[in-house]
Structure 1
Amino acid sequence: MSGPSLNPIRNLHDFIDDLPPSVRADIDAVSRYRSVVAGARILRRGSLPRDVFQVQAGRVKYCSWDHEGREEVLTYMQQGDWIGLSELFTDLPASWDVVTLSPVTVRVVSRRQFHDLLDAHPALSKALLRVFALRFSLHRLFGLDHSALTLKQRLIKMLYFLSFSHEKAATDAQPINLKLSQEELGKVVGASRQKLNPALKALQHEGLLTVRVGGVILHSRARIVERYGHLLGLPTPDKA
């Protein structure tokens, strides 16, 4: 029996891929493109963005700083991911800075034009509703993790979900190269590099990943689901 379908999480990122060609064409028609240097802010915490953005190339992070000046990272995004969707609907200022980690190219669509697209295309509205429902579920689950899960368990979940925004063409059985340093991973799971390293080594010993300089190679999502599907809220595949 085959494993569970992982498409819902995959489509959390580049959700317009599955829209009808006419909808994608209308999005393209109102899009413009911008190049952004590394270290720049695409969104600034406390400001109301006038546009929504889709990353075409490069990497960004959602980040903030606590009262002691320590950086907190919510997540990392790259090609296909959208920025500013929540603010489009809430009319609330951004809660996080979105900072480029490399030179980045973004698609830019104005708020007014995006609202016009939503009015014209129910399929786009439905796709976004699905995105927000998935985001809500994931944020709720990750919000409970610090009190309910060990560092190793939090790391497994984060690596699994981050894998969907890396090498998007990879199948669930293929290796995936996550180009995230241990320092970057530590920020999203709330641990120092010194505490993170033993957890990574334990997962490497289990044959789930290989730690490399500047990144981690997941041997496959399917292998993670087979061993830790219960932790991810997914059924484990039946073994022959």
Structure 2
Amino acid sequence: MPTAVQALCANFPDLTPPATLALRLEALMPSRRLPAGRVLFAQGQSPSAFYLVEDGEIEARFAALDGRMSVLEHVRAPRLFGLAAFISGKPSRYEAAAVSDSRVRVIGAPAYRVLMDDWPGFARALMREFAERFEGNLRLLEAARHLSAAERFGVALRQLADERAGPSDAEGWQALRATQAELAQLAHLSRQTVNQLLRAAQAEGRLRLRYGGLDIRR
């Protein structure tokens, strides 16, 4: 299992932590295991920490007025989440639940103060990370309201690719672990529509379907 500093460096590879922080952060950022399906914090709850995914996958989702769940994003290692509710002290607008057996680092107020005050460059890197995340969510919101089904599908596919796509092979293909259900939820489309769009994109040579995911070219 990586140390707290190693987990953070995986998220911010351009940052070099002061050597004195390792033991302090290890004590201040405990690791927590979550079995599949476990809710880490609920919609309407005011979290006392934010989190870093070490292993597995966390789904951020919220309940609409009709009771249906809408997915905001899937958070995989080594990404951070939950900062807005933690910083503002206001109830979270969404709930976070483990999609698979997962492990997170818990970053409460003492760890947050150390990171912001004693790690040069961390505050700027954290702001950039969440600004990019916010921009991605705005793109999805715009797509859900104004764009065609094909355009919404394209936005959702690009967001998942930004989060998960592996390195390019010799022919320029990148492996992407994503299901039709995930694409449908992100794009606010039916699975049948997503299936049709995937088949059309494959026929055009823009992606390749395979078991458990697909290959894309960008």
TM-score by length of 1: 0.76
Q: Is the 8 A contact 1:87 1:94 kept in 2?
A: yes
Unaligned segments of structure 2, at least 5 residues: 1-9
Report the equivalent of 2:5: none
Report the equivalent of 1:140: 138
1:149 counterpart (147, 150, 154): 147
CA separation in 1, counterparts of 2:84 and 2:113?
13
Q: Is the 8 A contact 1:81 1:165 kept in 2?
A: no
Identity percentage over the alignment?
A: 26
Report the equivalent of 1:232: none
Counterpart of 1:134, as a letter, is E
1:35-64 CA distance string (max 9 Å, x none): 110000112111111122111111121112
Q: How far did residue 208 of structure 1 move?
A: 1.9
Q: How far did residue 210 of structure 1 move?
A: 2.1
For residues 46-65 of structure 1, the aligned pairs below 5 Å read: 46-65=44-63
Instruction: Please identify runs of 4+ aligned residues in structure 1 that moved more than 6 A.
Output: none
Instruction: Find the residue that maps to 1:21 and give its secondary structure.
Output: coil
Report the equivalent of 1:192: 190
CA separation in 2, counterparts of 1:73 and 1:145?
14
CA separation in 1, counterparts of 2:27 and 2:14?
18
CA separation in 2, counterparts of 1:127 and 1:116?
15
Report the equivalent of 1:177: 176
Report the equivalent of 2:7: none
Q: How far did residue 121 of structure 1 move?
A: 2.7
Report the equivalent of 1:219: 216
CA separation in 1, counterparts of 2:134 and 2:81?
16
Q: How far did residue 29 of structure 1 move?
A: 5.3
CA separation in 1, counterparts of 2:193 and 2:75?
24
Q: How far did residue 70 of structure 1 move?
A: 1.9
Q: How far did residue 139 of structure 1 move?
A: 2.6
Report the equivalent of 2:36: 38
How many residues are matched?
A: 206
> Aligned Cα RMSD in Å?
2.4
For residues 110-125 of structure 1, the aligned pairs below 5 Å read: 110-125=108-123
Counterpart of 2:200, as a letter, is A
TM-score by length of 2: 0.83
Q: Is the 8 A contact 1:207 1:219 kept in 2?
A: no
Q: Is the 8 A contact 1:55 1:106 kept in 2?
A: yes
CA separation in 1, counterparts of 2:58 and 2:52?
11
Q: How far did residue 93 of structure 1 move?
A: 1.5
CA separation in 1, counterparts of 2:134 and 2:37?
28
2:91 counterpart (70, 93, 118): 93
CA separation in 2, counterparts of 1:199 and 1:131?
30
| Higher RCO (CA < 8 A, seq sep 6+) | 1
CA separation in 2, counterparts of 1:155 and 1:42?
29
